[in-house]
Amino acid sequence: MSLVKVKQLQEKLALKVITKNVLPLKIIKVCGVDVSYKDNIAYGAAVILDRNKKEVIEVTKSTLKVTSPYIPGLFVLREARPILKTLDKLTKDFDLLLIDGNGQLHPRRCGLACYIGLVLDKPVIGVAKNLLCGKVKSDKTVEYEGKIIGYEINHKGKKIYVSVGHKVSLKKSVSIVKGLLGKNWLPEPLRLADVYSKIHSKTNHCY
């Protein structure tokens, strides 16, 4: 698919993103997924965490050859396939997914978290390490083209940017992410997924 067509697809999918809470009554099982890269191979890891007990319920990993370069704003081309493959290996369901990437905080309002949320039809929150677009206001909300589409959290001296992926409001997204922060600057499910993906890339095992 050409870059132009991918951008057009993002604009089309952005209209389908649900920005209100369509969530279970109790959000217990929160999944984090991340991908590390080495020698043109994507090493994915997903971790389901019990939100209350802070205990790991399941960990799964995958390996996939990289087919697309890293292009800012088109992260979906590089990460969607390894993420979906990793999540497909899970044997247990989750209530909510955290993606290491943007959701609506994106020039076309459809970052990686939105795409994955729409594909899975699940609640997803985007948690990015860098500000892709917009301006951070005094109340820490991020405004882009006259709309509030993200929120900046400063924790442990580092910043993360939260935005809606699918089926969860921005207010709820921020509340959930803050509740999952601990000694590390990343929410715990994403921190663990990051750790496992890096270990996976170093062991070079195929799952």
The whole-angstrom separation of Cα 16 and Cα 39 is 36
Q: Would you say residue 146 has pLDDT above 70?
A: yes
Give me the pLDDT at residue 4, please: 79
What local confidence, expressed as pLDDT, does residue 3 receive? Answer: 79
Residue 14, Cβ neighbours under 10 Å: how many? 17
- Predicted TM-score (pTM) of the model is 0.93
**Spatial distance between the Cα atoms of 183 and 99, rounded to a whole number of angstroms:** 19
Does the pLDDT of residue 204 top 70, yes or no?
Answer: no
Q: Is residue 207 pLDDT above 70, yes or no?
A: no
Tell me: pLDDT of 7 over 90.
no
Kindly tell me if the per-residue pLDDT of 206 is higher than 60: no
Please report the pLDDT score of residue 182 as a whole number.
87
Read off the pLDDT of residues 98-141 as tens digits, 9 standing for 90 and up. Answer: 999 999 999 999 999 999 999 999 999 999 999 999 999 999 99
Q: What is the pLDDT of residue 67?
A: 79
| E-strand stretches of the chain | 29-38, 41-50, 55-65, 96-99, 124-128, 135-136, 141-144, 147-155, 158-166
**Residues of the chain above pLDDT 90, percent:** 79
Sequence-separated (6 or more) residues with CB below 8 Å from residue 4: none
Domains and CATH numbers, the chain: 3-203 (3.30.2170.10)
The predicted-structure confidence for 48-76, as pLDDT tens digits, reads as follows 999 999 999 999 999 999 877 777 777 67
Write down the pLDDT at residue 20.
97
pLDDT tens string 8-47 = 888 899 999 999 999 999 999 999 999 999 888 999 999 9
Pick from 80, 96, 85: nearest CA to 165 = 96
Q: What is the pLDDT of residue 177?
A: 97
Output helix, strand, coil percentages for the chain, rounded to the nearest 5.
30, 30, 40
